[in-house]
Amino acid sequence: MEDILIGLYYVAAIGVIILHYTGWLEDRGLEWIVYVIAVLLFPMLYFAYIP
With the C-alpha atoms ordered 9, 37, 13, 15, is the resulting torsion angle positive or negative? Answer: positive
- CA proximity to 16, closest of 27, 24, 28: 24
pLDDT digits (tens, 9 = 90+) for 1-45: 778 888 999 999 999 999 999 999 999 999 999 999 999 998 888
3-class DSSP state of 6 = helix
What confidence score (pLDDT) does residue 23 get? 96
